Amino acid sequence: MKFQGVPNNYTPIILTARPALIPMPSPILEAIEQRRSIRNFTEQTVDSNTLYEIIQAGVWAPSGLNNQPWRFAIVTDAAIRARLAEQTTYGHIVLGAPALIGVYLDRQAMYDDLKDAQSAGACIQNMLLAAEALGLGAVWLGQILKNREKVGEILGLAANLELMAIIAIGHPSRRDQQSQRKPLAEFIVKEL
Amino acid sequence: MKFQGVPNNYTPIILTARPALIPMPSPILEAIEQRRSIRNFTEQTVDSNTLYEIIQAGVWAPSGLNNQPWRFAIVTDAAIRARLAEQTTYGHIVLGAPALIGVYLDRQAMYDDLKDAQSAGACIQNMLLAAEALGLGAVWLGQILKNREKVGEILGLAANLELMAIIAIGHPSRRDQQSQRKPLAEFIVKEL
């Protein structure tokens, strides 16, 4: 055992300069740190190729046994977005986003509920990072899961598809979002 | 409804040139695409600051209600790695990796089993991307979950911590790993 806990003098270099570890600033670490949930969008639409690119980034996530259980429903139609908006208390975001991607798991491809759900999260994180890399903003919507069956009806999806989240995507109307994380030491429970 | 399915002539630009969408090649999309599971490591150790940086990237993942439920156990001690190696059929990876990070959820911070598990996956994906950005390699180990209680005993962790995965990290002994994904069209079940 070396020591317990993060030393008091540790400054997370991801938040500051990082010459010691990384010869050049890492755009990857910066992207991870600077990503924010974007909930307000301009009226500018998002073209299909851009949405495909975001999904392509999603499917480069790892999955257990490489089972690739993710499935996606793209919604840009305003009338369908309006119906989906009624299924969540965050309906104003669903209405205001020019594009939605429903992220599903295919029960026929799944092998482990927990690990496949984790893999859906990894897939979604790739999509959120990709959206920002493409100059867009996005937010991960989970509250709508309480009406997942109704969402499936609206989208006309097969029963083997289980809703994991809806990602709202668009051109950000502003980029001054702030977010907070606890100090790193509060997350690290053991060092052995 | 615009059309069903990805057009036959669609080429995922993440895999090729992408002048149409992205003026400059995006290091973020490239990192997402090029990340591979690394299972073979050199004997070179990984310093604590680098592991903290990887964890810091992890906690920049989104979480429901920003509950930040992730907790981490860092293991570099060879004797403890040897005990952990006995808990999984992938013990040779656990033994060969100079650093392990156990990713946990804190039941006292959780609010929704499914969404917190997804958030753990998003956190892990950030960590895998960060490891590669820092010149390291990593692999997400899930099979060890079958012995999660024993792992908790070996690490001396409180019962409120639930193991989500162990990430094995080190300097890759090679970087020629290949991975495959199904064609994008097989993932997109609906376009509305």
* pLDDT tens for each residue of A59-102: 999 999 999 999 999 999 999 999 999 999 999 999 999 999 99
Residue A159 in any domain: the answer is yes
Q: How many domains does chain A have?
A: 1
Please check whether residue B155 is in contact with residue B144, taking contact to mean a CB–CB distance below 8 angstroms.
no
The confidence score (pLDDT) of residue B189 equals: 97
Q: How many CB atoms lie within 10 A of CB A189?
A: 19
The chain-wide mean pLDDT, for chain A, equals 90
Q: Is the pLDDT of residue B95 over 60?
A: yes
Q: How many CB atoms lie within 10 A of CB A20?
A: 11
Stated as kind and residue range, the H or E segment containing B56 is helix B48-59
The confidence score (pLDDT) of residue B22 equals: 46
- Residue of chain A minimizing CA distance to B115: A142
Contact between chains at B130 and A32 (C-beta distance less than 8 A): yes
Structure confidence by residue, pLDDT tens digits, A18-69:
344 444 468 999 999 999 999 999 999 999 999 999 999 999 999 999 999 9
- Site from A8, A51, A129 to mutate, B interface, most B CB atoms within 10 angstroms: A129
- In this structure, what is the dihedral angle of CA atoms B39, B160, B110, A5, given to the nearest 10 degrees? -60
Q: Which domain does A140 fall in, by range?
A: 38-170
The confidence score (pLDDT) of residue A25 equals: 60
Task: Check if B31 contacts A (Cβ < 8 Å).
Answer: yes
The confidence score (pLDDT) of residue A3 equals: 37
Please check whether residue B94 is in contact with residue B85, taking contact to mean a CB–CB distance below 8 angstroms.
yes
- What is the average pLDDT across A134-142? 97
- What is the average pLDDT across A162-178? 94
Task: Check if A140 contacts B (Cβ < 8 Å).
Answer: yes
Q: Is the pLDDT of residue B4 over 50?
A: no
The confidence score (pLDDT) of residue A177 equals: 85
The chain-wide mean pLDDT, for chain B, equals 90
Residue A140 in any domain: the answer is yes
Query: What CATH number did the domain enclosing B85 receive?
Result: 3.40.109.10
Residues 82-101 of chain B whose Cβ lies under 8 A from any Cβ of chain A:
none
The confidence score (pLDDT) of residue B68 equals: 98
Contact between chains at A190 and B156 (C-beta distance less than 8 A): yes
Q: How far is A176 from chain B (nearest CA, A)?
A: 17
Structure confidence by residue, pLDDT tens digits, B131-187:
999 999 999 999 999 999 999 999 999 999 999 999 999 999 988 888 899 999 999
With bands split at pLDDT 50, 70 and 90, how would you rate the model's confidence at A9? Answer: low
- In this structure, what is the dihedral angle of CA atoms B77, B122, B120, B81, given to the nearest 10 degrees? -20
Contact between chains at A145 and B182 (C-beta distance less than 8 A): no
Q: Is the pLDDT of residue B110 over 80?
A: yes
Residue B18 in any domain: the answer is no
The confidence score (pLDDT) of residue A84 equals: 98
For B125, residues 6+ apart whose C-beta sits below 8 A from its C-beta are A61, A62, A121, A122, A125, A126, B61
Residue B31 in any domain: the answer is no
- Residue of chain B minimizing CA distance to A152: B190
Please check whether residue B153 is in contact with residue A34, taking contact to mean a CB–CB distance below 8 angstroms.
no
Dist CA B76 CA B128 (whole Å) = 18
For A78, residues 6+ apart whose C-beta sits below 8 A from its C-beta are none
The confidence score (pLDDT) of residue A83 equals: 98
The confidence score (pLDDT) of residue B6 equals: 55
CA distances in angstroms from A171 to A1, A103, A126, A138, A184, listed in the order given:
49, 20, 18, 8, 32
Task: Check if A60 contacts B (Cβ < 8 Å).
Answer: yes
DSSP states of A131-179 as a string?
HHHTT-EEEEE-GGGGGHHHHHHHHT--TTEEEEEEEEEE-BS------
| Partner residues linked to B105 by β-bridges | B70, B162
- Taken in order B147, B150, B154, B158, the sign of the CA dihedral is positive
Beta strands in chain B (DSSP E): 70-75, 99-106, 137-141, 161-170, 188-191
Residue B177 in any domain: the answer is no
Q: Which one of A33, A115, A121 has the shortest CB-CB distance to B122? A: A121
Buried b (16+ CB within 10 A) or exposed e, B58-72: bbbbbbbeebbbbbb
- With contacts defined as CB-CB under 8 Å, which chain A residues touch B76? 2, 192
Dist CA A95 CA A86 (whole Å) = 9
Q: Is the pLDDT of residue B10 over 60?
A: no
For B179, residues 6+ apart whose C-beta sits below 8 A from its C-beta are A66, B36, B37
Checking DSSP bridges between strand A70-75 and strand B188-191, what pairing results, if any?
A: parallel
Residue B12 in any domain: the answer is no
Q: Is the pLDDT of residue B9 over 80?
A: no
Residue A129 in any domain: the answer is yes
Residue A28 in any domain: the answer is no
- The model's pTM is 0.89
- Site from B29, B55, B71, B105 to mutate, A interface, most A CB atoms within 10 angstroms: B29
Structure confidence by residue, pLDDT tens digits, B26-38:
899 999 999 999 9
